[in-house]
Structures are given as C-alpha cells and as structure tokens.
Structure 1
Amino acid sequence: MERKNILITGASSGLGLEMAKQFAAKGRNLALCARRVERLEAVKAQLEQNYPDIKVVIKSLDVNDHDQVFEVFRAFNAEFEGGLDRVIVNAGMGKGASLGTGYFKANKETAITNFVSAIAQCEAALEIFRAKDDGHLVNISSMSAVRGFRRALTVYAASKAALSNLTEGIRVDLLGTNIKASCIHPGFIRSEINEKVEKVPFMVDTDVGVAAMIRAIEAEKTNAFVPSWPWAYMRHLMKWAPIKYLRAMS
C-alpha cells in the first residue's frame, strides 16, 4: 500500500532530513516538523524546487511540549486531502553520561525526549488513525535497544528499548484494525548525532542507511534491523554476548 501523506518529526537534520528527501523523490507529500523551523524552510524550498508535484507543509514543533504535539499533528492532518497516512516518530537525542557522574539533567532530558515524548507522538498519531481505522505508525528505535550500554548510551539505550516495547504493545492493541505499527532499529548510520565519532564498525553513509530504513518502512515490517547486513544477524549475537563485549562496543 502506498502511503501518500507522511509526517516526519525531527525532520530538520540527520535521518529525518534524509527520509524527507528520499520520500520526496518517491512523490510523497510531506508534513515536516522540528524545533529549527528556519532549517525546515530551506528544506521545503529545496524539495518543492526538485519535486514540484509534491506538497510540503512545515511547522515548528518541540516534541517535549506535549500539548503542542497534539495541536501540530491535528493541524497537519487537516491540511492534506485524505489526512495523514503515515507518521514517523523520529525526533530524539543522545545526550548524557554514566549515571552517578553528575549528568542527571542530560540523562533525564534524553529519557523524556526519546520515550515520554514518543508516547505523546504515538497518542496523537493514533488518535488520527483510529478515527478512520487506517494508517501506519513508525517508531525509530535503535540497535542499542537490544542490550544495555555504558557512558552516554546508558539512558539512550534504555529509552530506545522502552520505545521498542511500546511499539510491540501498540501492535497488540491494534490487532483486528487496519492500522499498522512498525519499529525500525537502525544500526550505525552517519548522522548529526554521531558526526564526531570517527571509528565505528559497519558505519554507513546517511543516504545508504536511510534507503534501508525506507525499504523496511515501505514494506511495513513490524520489527526491522537495518541495514540488514550486518544488523539483522548482529542483533542475535549482541543479545547473548558477554558483558565485556558490550563494554568494547561503547
């Protein structure tokens, strides 16, 4: 099924921006939101120039303002003929440090943005989809959801694990409806969040990694690990790896 009208949060940079570009190339209409609206304005201008047949609507959104999440999603839904078909919950952050080292504020911000604010986005999306018994919810998790990690990844990994479990619970709740829910677990994909990291095994460029994400999204897979090589296999190894191995990865 082709989902024509797609909302992407966190669309001003990184994976969200690249998803917008690649969906635009497929002729999809886009509802793009992020805090940095000036970046979105540039994205909108570029996409409309390159793909004049699509509709691009942008709005400023801080996903941690939960009331605003509902307002923005409803406004987007009203602006597209037939309403929104797919919502991609992509906005997130990776701030933080080892617990007990004085960075509670950063760890808390990551936990709220990646999980509590994702709940708000899922609620707002499913409110729209339940009204018409159709739609596709996509949550962008991470390979780090498979296990616990240390340092800056400690809370990040925990928040992504929570998001993965949330998506599965949503799928159970949606059985018997026409609404689909997918959880995408990207491996190491170059983006703004990790641009300063120099040596990471299996790292792929943003366009390559996002192309794999979009293939999984378009197939509406319930639980995808991308790019499939090596992450569809690595996730099994990671699940049973000794804890010393996890230390070496993070």
Structure 2
Amino acid sequence: MSKGTILITGASSGLGEEMARQFADLGYDLAITARRTDRLDALAAEITGKHADRTVVTKALDVNDDDAVFAVFKEVAAEMGGIDRVIINAGLGKGAPLGTGRYDANRATAMTNFVAALAQTEAAMEIFRAQAKEGRRGHLVMISSASAMRGMRKTITTYAATKAGVSALAEGLINENVKAKGIDVSIIYPGYIMSEMNEKVAQQTKFMVDTQTGVKSMVDAIEKRKEKALVPAWPWVPLGFALKHLPMSVVRRLV
C-alpha cells in the first residue's frame, strides 16, 4: 500500500534522482519531472523493477516555462488522485563574480532557482489549498542550500542569493501559518553533497559527502516534516550557525 504521492522536480540527476530512489524505498508513489525524459524513464524503470507495486509517473518539464509548470502539476494531481508532497528541487549552479561579464550565467541561475521556484510554489500551493478544504494534508518542501545562511563570494554569490530567496518564500508560508490549514512546509538546507552540479569541484571542497549519505539525511528530515533542517547535521548545524552569526572575515575562511 502506498504511503502517498510525491512530486519531485529536477529528478533526472543528482539529489532529485536519489531522493526518488529513497522515497520509493520508503513506499511512496512518485511523479518525477525534468527536461531529460530519457533519464527519467530509466529511473522509473529502475524503481519499478525494484518495487513492482510502486507507481512512477514521468513528465517532461522545463521549470522556466511557467505555463508548463502549472499544467504539469495539475496533470499529476489529476492522474494520481492528488499530491501529498511536492519537493521543489530543480536548480542551476552556474555563476560568476558580479561585474565580470557573465550576467548571462548569473541571470540563468536566478531565473531557474528563484523565479521558477516561485512558479512551482504557486502551482503546488494551489493544489494543496484546494485539497486542504477536503481534509487532505499537503507538504511543500523547498530545497535551499547551506550557502543561503549568508552572502557568499565570487562564483556562488548569485546562487546563494537565490537559495536565500526560496527560503524566504517558504518562511513566508510558515509565517502565514498554513500548517493550521493542513499544509506543512519544510526548508531543507543541504551542505556539500556530491552531485552532477558540483562534481568538477568535489575533490577541492571541504565537508563533501557522497550522494546516498547526504540524500538520506535530507529524506529523514523531510519525513519528520521539519520546518528547517541543515543536513547532514554534522558539520552543517554548527557551521550554519557560524555562517549566519560570525563576522564576515571569519566566514571567508570557513567556506
């Protein structure tokens, strides 16, 4: 018997792909979306091959296409009889120091990580607000980043700013107290977890953990419906506190 239905965006690689595997292992049916449908289909075949009783729906989705976001979310809800959890995970890691001629890269990251996340949040919340009137609880999960704790330098300045932005979106819903209306909201702040996005710098990055270990900490926090979680807890809970509160001269030496 299914534990519920989860929609995951950006599920063709990295954290989204591994979350799909781990949530399927826990007994959830899935709707997985991304631009690369060949990889989604391979992931769906892998999951259903391991769990014959799981339903996995794949949808092509470019999250920068606003109309497609709303259409696909509605399609999934209709086809799967509603959605219990939406994980807004799709993102970009492009970037360059501000003022160095790479506005194109910074803009692409801002549009995908924040504006597209806003569209996904709107689409998910429309569904959850409607379902809540019928007594069905929803769970919105925003994948932020430990870098959102503070303004970051050089190539990740824009990336960190977008992740702080999506955290603020989710925090606004928490402030609205949508929980009382039947909608839980979680902000997940991953530290350095191996993925396709960071594989080029993984060997030079402190505190990096493998994908399965890092994603398990994310999944555990999501399952507990924590409002905010820095993951993995060690070293990111103390590091997160340090990033947020220590002088910038100290922060520069930490990350």
TM range (shorter): over 0.9
2:204 aligned to which of 199, 208, 220: 199
Aligned to 2:180: 176
Unaligned runs of 5+ in 1: none
- Structure 1 residues 70 and 179: CA distance shift in structure 2, 3 A: same
Give the Cα–Cα distance (whole angstroms) in 2 for the partners of residues 150 and 247 of structure 1: 8
CA apart distance, 1:13: 0.1
Letter aligned with residue 190 of structure 2: P
Letter aligned with residue 79 of structure 1: E
User: How much has 1:244 moved relative to structure 2?
Assistant: 3.0
Shift of 1:6: 0.2
SS in 1 for 2:204: coil
Q: Partner amino acid for 1:202?
A: F
Deviation of 1:247 after TM superposition, in Å, equals: 3.1
Residue 63 (str. 1) matches residue 68 (str. 2): no
CA contact (8 A) 2:20 2:30 kept: yes
How many corresponding residue pairs? 248
What is the match of residue 104 of structure 1?
A: 103
Contact 1:187 1:231 (8 Å CA) reproduced: yes
The answer on whether the counterparts of 2:97 and 2:154 sit within 8 Å (CA) in structure 1 is yes
Cα distance in 2 between the residues matched to 1:109 and 1:170? 26
Structure 1 residue identity aligned to 2:93: G
How big is the shift at 1:175? 4.7
Taking only aligned residues, the RMSD between alpha carbons, in angstroms, comes to: 1.2
- Would the aligned equivalents of 2:66 and 2:119 in 1 still touch at CA under 8 Å? yes
One of 146, 149, 153 as aligned partner of 2:149: 146
| 1:233 lines up with 2:238 in the alignment | yes
Q: How far has the Cα of 1:4 moved from its partner? A: 1.0
Amino acid at match of 1:182: S
Q: Which runs of structure 2 are paired with 1:1-250 in the superposition (5 Å)? A: 4-81=4-81, 83-133=82-132, 134-173=137-176, 174-197=178-201, 198-250=203-255
Where in structure 2 are there 5+ consecutive unaligned residues? none
- The one-character-per-residue Cα deviations of 1:162-190 (angstroms, maximum 9, x if unpaired) are 11111110112215311111100000101
Residue pair 1:6, 1:30 contacting (<8 A) in 2 also: yes
Distance of 1:152 and 1:42 partners within structure 2: 33
- The separation in 2 between residues aligned to 1:139 and 1:203, in whole angstroms, is 21
Q: Is the 8 A contact 1:86 1:135 kept in 2?
A: yes
Q: C-alpha distance in 1, partners of 2:94/2:5?
A: 31
